[in-house]
Amino acid sequence: MGQEISDSDFDSAAFAEFRHRLDDETQLLAAWLNEGRLASPQRRFGFEIEGWLIGPDGRPIARNQEFLAAVDDSMVVPELSRFNFELNSDPLLLADGSLDAMYADLQQRWQRCKRAAQAVGVRPLLIGILPTVRSSDLTLANMSPMRRYQAINDQIFRMRNGTPIEVDIDGVEHLHHRHEDVMLEAGTTSLQIHVEVDAAEAARAFNVCKMISAVTVGATANSPYLFGRQLWQETRIALFEQSVSVGGSDYSKRVTFGVRYAHDSILECFEANRTRYPVLLPDLMDAPVERLAHLRLHNGTVWRWNRPLIGFDDAGRPHIRIEHRVIAAGPTACDAIANTALFLGLFEALMRRDEPIEQQMPFACARDNFYAAARAGLDARVQWMGGPPQALHELLDGHLLAVADAGLRAAGIGATEAERWIGILRERVRRHMTGADWQVAWVARHGRDFGALVDAYANRQSREQPVHEWSLN
């Protein structure tokens, strides 16, 4: 959930001053965009991937402080709960060899995490929702000791007037659950891909990310179970949207697919943040207005599934990134890079089209596709660029994997490298075996022993074979 804050005890004066600074910084961002200050002539990408810590019984274990101390890596950081952590990558230019290099880096860091976890008696795991997690695990007692997290909990429940969170998910089975804090969010771990874009193309980039969200969420689904119930193929989508809800209109949903495309400028998103979303964390920072510190903090409390970010390079130059947040963590490091390749390939292919693609896929279609794919995964019925509805696995096999491969090659990725990573998706689709599909098939064969499911999943993950090669025995 982002950067640490300096204080968590806010009064009305802090809210008023924060809003004033947010107004000033949004106005400055508008000026920079008009002046062409946020230019990015080269495409860079990177990611964050969240993980779990589990014990011998496959249950979550709240020991991330010991684990992080043992890892001793600034790119491995705490997450909301004491049984979660996050790995970060260094950004790379999207060019020949970059996907292979990203994989090598992730593998090296993951092996370091495994050694550190073994040293403290736990196991790290990459999975969307841990099937063994219980409501009793998701409590404030297991919250990581950061002021930011406690403040988010306090402020969300202030906005809710103290009423519990209501989770209601209708899937293969039905779940209705009441929760007294925001810790349900700790049950949703993901792969978040960042892609740097030039300000002049940022609005289209934002829209393109929305369009391809159905494809990426369905092809990478890895969260079919929550609290013993089989729900959506990617239940994480419904759970996260409801776990930090403050109620009210679409604009008050802090986790959202949005209500429309960007029309003319990416500034529209930041203006919506300023005018539509109440301030959650009015932390007043001693930073010059040119750092956009308050704008960036406020943006970090609106968890759009595709979120524009303002960053600064080592020389202090600002840039825009789009953060694609819909992909589940896992099942393995090689699956994660293949999922990244799918996103980047589709993104690059659509960004290079000359026609107004927003007219070919209206926002309502992109939105409906997204939720259909989160529910049904590869079997979802989706409509692509004005074509007839068809199953997502058919669309991928017959068209979109070739589009992604071509997009990677157009961006400079070599044919062998592109095929290496898109080939993993091709086999996953051919065998109809996402992480969610594997979990459901394992349960169908062995029964609802979720501890045994997690143990089987962890053992196969340790072999670093893509999920479509995993056995069910």
pLDDT digits (tens, 9 = 90+) for 409-462: 999 999 999 999 999 999 999 999 999 999 999 999 999 999 999 999 999 999
Taking the C-alpha atoms of residue 267 and residue 259, their distance in angstroms, rounded to an integer, is 15
**Cβ-count burial 167-205 (b if 16+ within 10 Å, e if not):** bebebeeebebebebbbbbbbbbbbbbbbbbbbeebbbb
**Which residues in 171-222 belong to E strands, given as ranges?**
174-179, 190-197
Domains along the chain with CATH numbers = 12-459 (3.30.590.20)
Q: Give the pLDDT score at 147.
A: 86
pLDDT digits (tens, 9 = 90+) for 88-99: 999 999 999 999
Q: Average pLDDT of the chain?
A: 95
Between the alpha carbon of residue 293 and those of residues 31, 133, 311, 312, 321, the distances in Å are 16, 35, 10, 11, 16
Q: Give the pLDDT score at 244.
A: 85
What is the pLDDT averaged over residues 136-144?
Answer: 96
pLDDT digits (tens, 9 = 90+) for 216-237: 999 999 999 999 999 999 999 9
Count of Cβ atoms closer than 10 Å to residue 256 Cβ: 18
Taking the C-alpha atoms of residue 374 and residue 129, their distance in angstroms, rounded to an integer, is 13
Taking the C-alpha atoms of residue 223 and residue 327, their distance in angstroms, rounded to an integer, is 10
Reply yes or no on whether the pLDDT at 83 is more than 90: yes
Closest CA to 408 of 418, 419, 398, 396: 418
Of the given ranges (1-15, 281-295, 349-363), which has the lowest mean pLDDT? 1-15
**Cβ-count burial 414-434 (b if 16+ within 10 Å, e if not):** eeebbebbbebbbebbeeebb
Residue 237's contacts (CB-CB under 8 Å, 6 or more residues apart) are 217, 305, 326, 371, 374
CA terminus-to-terminus distance, the chain: 37
| Surface-to-core class of residue 53, CB atoms within 10 Å of its CB (0-12 exposed, 13-18 middle, 19+ buried) | buried
| Helices and strands in the chain, H and E counts | 16, 16
**Which structure tokens are listed for 110?**
């993951």
State how beta strands 390-391 and 44-54 pair: unpaired
Q: Give the pLDDT score at 3.
A: 65
Taking the C-alpha atoms of residue 381 and residue 393, their distance in angstroms, rounded to an integer, is 9
Confidence of residue 245 (pLDDT cuts 50, 70, 90): confident
Residue 170's contacts (CB-CB under 8 Å, 6 or more residues apart) are 231
CA atoms within 13 A on the CB side of 355: 7
User: In angstroms, how far apart are the furthest CA atoms of the chain?
Assistant: 61
**Which structure tokens are listed for 225?**
């179970």
Q: 103 and 333 in contact (C-beta within 8 Å)?
A: yes
Closest CA to 7 of 148, 145, 135, 122: 148
Reply yes or no on whether the pLDDT at 1 is more than 50: no
Q: Is the dihedral of CA 84, 87, 88, 94 positive or negative?
A: negative
Peptide linkage before 56 cis (omega within 30 of 0): no
- Alpha-carbon dihedral of residues 54, 143, 115, 324, nearest 10 degrees? 90
Taking the C-alpha atoms of residue 225 and residue 229, their distance in angstroms, rounded to an integer, is 5
SS3 category, 45: strand
pLDDT digits (tens, 9 = 90+) for 143-199: 998 888 888 899 899 888 889 999 999 999 999 999 999 999 999 999 999 999 999
**């074979």: which residue's tokens?**
465
More confident residue, 246 or 334: 334
State how beta strands 381-382 and 390-391 pair: antiparallel
- Determine which helix (DSSP H) or strand (DSSP E) holds 311, and give its type and residue range: strand 306-312
Confidence of residue 314 (pLDDT cuts 50, 70, 90): confident
Distance, CA of 1 to chain centre: 11
Taking the C-alpha atoms of residue 228 and residue 288, their distance in angstroms, rounded to an integer, is 50
